[in-house]
Chains A and B, each alone.
Chain A
């Protein structure tokens, strides 16, 4: 019994229990909500969010108030770049992937340089970058068409690939394994925790703190870019600010998964559960006819509730 209570208090376990509860609630509100088809569709949407949240996760783990508010802008930009590069042809997929990754890495690099060299707080730096990206999107949209997804990309995202499961879900699982390996079994991963936990001590132990932090923002940019590319495959063509919703929801997924906003504590497995949970919540809100603005309010309130919950937990342990 004594072992059960701490187990139930683990964020991952809480998230999994909530997922089951929400699925049950959805099924009772609208029969068919928890059918296999529907769950697969939810998982596709969760993959997109989960990929963005992977980048958000490493930036937050790296500490010093690390956060990336520009992910939504990068997702939108990447969707447009991908659409124009491939423009409906399968042959354009590889160049599109490379172009998107380059763009994501570039804006991540700018974020990282601003945070480390110019010492701009991440919140301000990435918020400013989001503004720049939004302006850039308007300019681009006036000049060139939004572009279309290649059939191969759409199939990868929406059609079953192996064992009846679409490619993007396999991709997400692969990213999950990669993240677990990186965080636990590589020197880079250990150094992320080290700078997130005690930056000065890490510096004194020879960790290249600046380069690490720039790298984390670049990783975040590249994950957001991959998500933007996949999002194009999901929707067929890109439209204004497709990525906007990912800023808030990626942060919530990370916090839900038990990663501390102070850095140095947490992991990606919980974040994956958090992403699924959020997507199911979103599905339920849609089922009961709550519109986008209502959903945003619920999401914002969820984040605040989570902070309250974890904040209290910390205070009680101390």
Chain B
């Protein structure tokens, strides 16, 4: 009998179907791998099981009984434990307190039972005793630990739930070899105990090492479940990509031809920093260079670091032949570098202020303006906004009165008044509508044709395949593959993204 079974579970956010049909069966004593590309519905499925998202339809069965999971608390009561990819630890509390946070042992109904807490936490700390590294003790504050050690605490916390069904969403992303080996040893033990484990990872070697079966999700639908021992990575990736995966990027969407003879717009040489290492590339004037791969493999970190908003530990950046190292965005902007973030609420929009003030800040800096004369600013702002086909009633209306897509157009328009030499696009179409996306990419191609060097990271593979001349695939913080010409296929992109770092 299956431990956990999902029948036709679905979830829509407004008009967007995040999960069309989720069928999943987890047997007792197996590690079941979930695979799917960015936005395929994998994390929605996990959230439904963990109780943080309520499904719109379908049924969930635990040990053959239909259940309703009404929230995270209810999931815990029904025996579901989860490892959170976004760290859920309390930085100012010790390792042992964090491990027991979900169920603090209490005595006399009021006081925390220190010795019971210590004893329980020690069981899980000991599991990793030889691989947890320097400075890792039960009393250490979690905030003082390294990233890999924090991830170990997160794993211990999930294990401490002692739940019959465990979900691990990318539990190994920060761990080293020895730590992964130890963790897999523990998982094998849990299998023998008859627990059901859902495992998500983006490393093909790990998946084949620990997984028993794999379920592939594509476009919000669970496509197929396979025994990993009877299949090979190529088949799995082909299923994830779907039918047209082997076709090169279609000719109709071929990118603007780059004129490489005009020289490099920006050269990056062995750049390392927080979240990326040893990244080298050259983007020519007029070229759109795509950064691909799964979420959070260093693409954003590199772009932000180039713009002066991240940290660089070594390496060199040149614009033309001049050395370019921006300490802060202000320096980068002055030297002709532009950056558009997909997180416009955090990085872009000056909320509550008029549209005009959201278009002009870059112009203020590059023209060293002191006085803001409305009439002359209007003349500068209008062509930039029109180039983006921005819809708005008046320049004086607050930016919040616009739709998300139009807000992003305003943010991009601010870079068009004084043309930059290099444009860094960090998932710029996140959360905007299709017509705004089309406008945006038309403009990006136009800018490339005008001679800008453009770096484009997108979480939507179609945007990269349709617009980039070359694609650098990021995996674990470094570039593992470069796709050019006929090689720019969805299949190659996935394969490079999933192969071992």
Which residues of A approach B to under 8 Å, CB–CB?
184-191, 193-194, 197-198, 200-208, 264-265
Q: A186-B372, A264-B352 given as contacts; is B361 within 8 A of A194 (CB)?
A: yes
Q: A185-B371, A186-B372, A187-B372 given as contacts; is B350 within 8 A of A204 (CB)?
A: no
Q: A190-B360, A194-B353, A265-B352 given as contacts; is B347 within 8 A of A204 (CB)?
A: yes
Query: A197 to B371, Cβ gap below 8 A?
Result: no
- Which of A188, A204, A208 is close to B370, meaning CB atoms less than 8 Å apart? A188
- Which of B328, B330, B350, B369 is close to A201, meaning CB atoms less than 8 Å apart? B350
Chain A nearest CB from B192 CB (Å) reads 49
Task: Report, nearest first, the 9 A-B pairs whose CB atoms are least far apart.
Answer: A205-B361, A206-B365, A206-B333, A206-B330, A187-B364, A204-B347, A197-B350, A194-B350, A187-B369
Residue of B nearest to A203 (CB): B329
What B residues does A194 contact at CB under 8 A?
350, 353, 357, 361
What B residues does A203 contact at CB under 8 A?
309, 328-329
Interface residue B348 (Cβ < 8 Å from any Cβ of A): yes
Interface residue B346 (Cβ < 8 Å from any Cβ of A): yes
Query: A204 to B309, Cβ gap below 8 A?
Result: yes
B319-378 with Cβ < 8 A to chain A: 328-330, 333-334, 339, 341, 346-353, 357, 360-362, 364-365, 369-374
Q: Report how far A242 CA is from B236 CA in the complex, Å.
A: 79
Chain B nearest CB from A62 CB (Å) reads 13
A selection of 9 A-B contacts at a CB cut-off of 8 Å is A185-B373, A185-B374, A191-B364, A198-B346, A200-B346, A202-B361, A206-B365, A207-B365, A264-B353
Query: A201 to B353, Cβ gap below 8 A?
Result: no
What B residues does A202 contact at CB under 8 A?
350, 361
What A residues does B352 contact at CB under 8 A?
197, 264-265
Residue of A nearest to B364 (CB): A187
Query: A201 to B347, Cβ gap below 8 A?
Result: yes
What A residues does B329 contact at CB under 8 A?
203-206
Query: B346 to A186, Cβ gap below 8 A?
Result: no
- Which of A190, A201, A204, A265 is close to B364, meaning CB atoms less than 8 Å apart? A190
Interface residue B414 (Cβ < 8 Å from any Cβ of A): yes
- Contact-size category for B: 20 to 34
Q: Report how far A90 CA is from B362 CA in the complex, Å.
A: 48
Query: A205 to B414, Cβ gap below 8 A?
Result: yes
Q: Report how far A204 CA is from B349 CA in the complex, Å.
A: 10
Q: Report how far A83 CA is from B349 CA in the complex, Å.
A: 49
What A residues does B328 contact at CB under 8 A?
203
Query: B373 to A201, Cβ gap below 8 A?
Result: no
Residue of B nearest to A185 (CB): B372
Q: A186-B371, A190-B372 given as contacts; is B351 within 8 A of A197 (CB)?
A: yes
Chain A nearest CB from B144 CB (Å) reads 19
Chain A nearest CB from B292 CB (Å) reads 24
What B residues does A264 contact at CB under 8 A?
351-353
Instruction: Give the most central of A184, A185, A188, A206: most B CB within 10 Å.
Output: A206
Query: B346 to A207, Cβ gap below 8 A?
Result: no
- Which of B330, B349, B351, B374 is close to A208, meaning CB atoms less than 8 Å apart? B330
Chain A nearest CB from B372 CB (Å) reads 5
What B residues does A187 contact at CB under 8 A?
364, 369-372
Q: Report how far A184 CA is from B349 CA in the complex, Å.
A: 19
Instruction: Give the most central of B333, B361, B374: most A CB within 10 Å.
Output: B361
What A residues does B361 contact at CB under 8 A?
190-191, 194, 202, 205-207
